[in-house]
Amino acid sequence: MSNNNNRNKEKKEKKEKDISSTSTSTTTSKNDPNGERLGFDEPKSDLDAYRLENKHVHNVYNVISSHFDSTRYKAWPLVENYLNSITCGSIGVDVGCGNGKYLNVNKGNIYTIGSDICQSFSTICNEKGLEALSADGLYLPYQTDTFDYAISIAVIHHFSTFERRVEALKEIVRVLKPGGTFLVTAWAMSQKWKGKNYDSSDVMVPWLFQSKFKVEEEKKLKEKEEEEEISKSGTTYQQFHRYYHLFCDGEFESLFEKIQNVDILSNNLDHDNYYCIIKKK
């Protein structure tokens, strides 16, 4: 508990401006000095896709997780409102929980179990006293028809093929009880709010990693990954690239079309993110 308080205090003291409101969509402007794009090969098989995500999503977050944690602490009101509307005594899952900022919302009344494929994120959550395990979103360790609600915030855009995005949504729907609801969000291709524009729906977004957050794990990665060092106002950064599939209008509809037992309750754009609430039939 005291650990937790200290952490919050530290964060307040920093008074760092939280530019964005979603878990992954923040400092791109800060983190994208020259708008560089890294080319990559379109995955030709599911195994290719798995390896691309491993290299450009999981391994990157495993390294930058503590830096990420220090910049992402503000909950997105939309997600907060959703969780606060859930009835007392409900159990739910947060798939791809990251640093766990939603696991505490409505605490005591509802119980949210987090999971992330990046083990450094489940470690960060546990250090904060939050319940999180390490699991692949495509292979959730839960029984079918178990949970009252589910969230997956800024996660689905890290899956690199249409089929894998469908499978990921299907897997969450599988563990949901009939009648249960699920809030899912993804980055939009048109980022008017942030004043950015991407010219392609599959992009590599750079992350400037501050060396002070360096951990052991990172050295392992350094051996096998390409990365550049960048100096900006006296601080040395390392640049990593995260893979994103940016969502278009109607994209959630076309994904959920492949899943039979759901109704879309709402589907909108908020702060450059599509968010969609569905209900399992």
Partner 1 sequence: MACTKKQCVGRGFPLKLEANEIAQLSQPFNYEFVKNIFPKLDWNGIQLVAKQLNVVLPEQGSVEDEEFVKTLFNLLCNLKVINGSLTCPSCNRVYPIEVGIPNMLLKEEEIYQDIQRMADKEKEAQEEESDEEEDSDEEMEE
Residues that bind partner 1 (CB under 8 A): 46-47, 50-51, 54, 87-91, 108-109, 111, 115, 117, 119, 122-123, 126, 129, 132-136, 139-144, 148, 174
Beta carbon of residue 181, minimum distance to partner 1 (angstroms, whole number): 16
Query: Is 68 or 237 the residue whose CB approaches partner 1 more closely?
Result: 68
Beta carbon of residue 108, minimum distance to partner 1 (angstroms, whole number): 5
Query: Is 54 or 81 the residue whose CB approaches partner 1 more closely?
Result: 54
25 Cβ contact list (under 8 Å, min separation 6): 154, 187, 194, 271, 272, 273
Beta carbon of residue 215, minimum distance to partner 1 (angstroms, whole number): 15
- Residue 204 contacts residue 56 (beta carbons within 8 Å): yes
Beta carbon of residue 141, minimum distance to partner 1 (angstroms, whole number): 4
Query: Is 128 or 271 the residue whose CB approaches partner 1 more closely?
Result: 128
123 Cβ contact list (under 8 Å, min separation 6): none
Q: How far apart are CA 34 and CA 31, in angstroms?
A: 9
Beta carbon of residue 179, minimum distance to partner 1 (angstroms, whole number): 12
Cα dihedral sign, 219-115-57-41: positive
Query: Is 46 or 225 the residue whose CB approaches partner 1 more closely?
Result: 46
Beta carbon of residue 60, minimum distance to partner 1 (angstroms, whole number): 17
Query: Is 1 or 34 the residue whose CB approaches partner 1 more closely?
Result: 1
Query: Is 52 or 189 the residue whose CB approaches partner 1 more closely?
Result: 52
Torsion angle of C-alpha atoms 189, 194, 195, 198, degrees rounded to 10: -30
Q: How far apart are CA 280 and CA 177, in angstroms?
A: 7
Query: Is 109 or 235 the residue whose CB approaches partner 1 more closely?
Result: 109
Beta carbon of residue 149, minimum distance to partner 1 (angstroms, whole number): 13
